Amino acid sequence: MVAHRKPPVFLDPAHCPQAGRERMKLPQPIANFGSEHPDPEPALLRRMRETGAVFMMGDNPELPQMPARPQLLDFFHYRFSDIAFMHLLQSARTALDAGQNETVVIACLLHDISNGALMRSDHGYWGAQMIAPYVSEEVAWAVQYHQALRYFADEAAGFKYPDAYNQFFGPDYKPPQYICKAHEQARNHRWYMTSRLITIYDVYAFNDNWDVNPEIFTDIIGRHFKQPAEGLGFDNSPVAHMWRSMIWPNNFL
């Protein structure tokens, strides 16, 4: 296990919803596109009719149990992939060590939050939406626009096109039109440098020998991320469903 992740606690399957039945998991449709695997839904529907199996709803005992009122770091510990967990912490720590202000540090801590357990495609836009009710407008803006800015060098600000992107996408990759336009818009915006600093402290070369304890950010989170008393996912905000989808990612509907 990655250092500083809280040890997971798993539910007893007997105490899960639909206990005693086979609970089938249908992958989210967006994950099936373009894969060589056929759409599994018809076969699972057949299985339901033939065997009495049901589709999973609610807690999956194979996933770490979430607290009843989950807070931001609970999603880090119990839902995010190891790479996302370490990447976000390393980026925020790099900004902190460079003496950046807390707005930049929290933006770095949250910048790829969508990749943790929800959605990779257009992750800056998804991430900005997820956090918008809980952070300043500037932080959400910076997270959204880092999506575009990381494709464009700004050598005067100290950012060159990441070597990792030549490997990820190939050296001939050109970003699409909407990303080019977003970059143009951001360049003249008053918060440009907040978003640009995300791209500067983004740790493009993943370092699996550097453990950062998330607890060092507790105070900064307390000052810059308004955690709802009901827990993320249960505050009836316009984005609560996004957080619930990470709590119960296997729900059939």
Q: How far is the CB of 154 from Fe ion (least distance, A)?
A: 16
Q: Which of 66, 76, 94, 112 binds Fe ion (CB under 5 A)?
A: 112
For the chain, give me the number of helices (H) and strands (E)? Answer: 13, 2
CA atoms within 13 A on the CB side of 158: 8
CA proximity to 142, closest of 92, 85, 216: 92
Q: Which residues pair with 54 in a beta bridge?
A: 23
Q: Which stretch binds Fe ion (CB under 5 A): 110-118, 183-191, 208-216, 234-242?
A: 110-118
Q: Which is nearer to Fe ion, 61 or 175 (CB)?
A: 175
Is residue 202 near Fe ion by the rule CB under 5 A? yes
For residue 127, which amino acid is it? G
Which is nearer to Fe ion, 23 or 79 (by Cβ)?
79
- Cβ-based nearer residue to Fe ion, 161 or 234: 161
Which residue stretch of 4-12, 35-43, 163-171, 200-208 sits at the interface with Fe ion (rule: CB under 5 A)?
Answer: 200-208
Residues binding Fe ion: number (CB under 5 A): 2
**127 or 228: whose CB is closer to Fe ion?**
127
Q: Residue 124 Cβ, how far from Fe ion at the closest point, in Å?
A: 6
Q: Please give the radius of gyration of the chain, using alpha carbons only, rounded to the nearest integer.
A: 20
CB of 32 to Fe ion, least distance (A): 24
For 157-186, b/e burial (b = at least 16 CB within 10 A) is eebeebeeeeeeeeeeeebeeebeebbeeb
Write down the least CB distance from residue 87 to Fe ion, Å: 6
DSSP 8-state assignment for residue 8: P
Looking at 159-231, which runs of residues are DSSP E strands?
A: none
- The DSSP output letter for 159 is B
Q: How far is the CB of 111 from Fe ion (least distance, A)?
A: 6
CA distance 249 to 253: 10
Minimum distance between the CB of residue 67 and Fe ion, rounded to whole angstroms? 27
The CB-of-179 to Fe ion minimum distance in angstroms stands at 12
Q: Tell whether residue 116 is a contact of Fe ion (CB under 5 A).
A: no
Contact of 200 with 91, CB cutoff 8 Å: no
Measured CA to CA, the distance from residue 233 to residue 212 in angstroms comes to 26
Cβ proximity to Fe ion, 59 vs 202, nearer residue: 202
- Residue number, 24 or 130, with CB nearest to Fe ion: 130
Q: Quick check: helix, strand or coil at residue 40?
A: coil
Stretch of 36-44, 50-58, 65-73, 106-114 contacting Fe ion, by CB under 5 A? 106-114
The residue among 55 and 85 lying less far from Fe ion, judged by its C-beta, is 85
Which residues of this protein are in contact with Fe ion, per CB under 5 A?
Answer: 112, 202
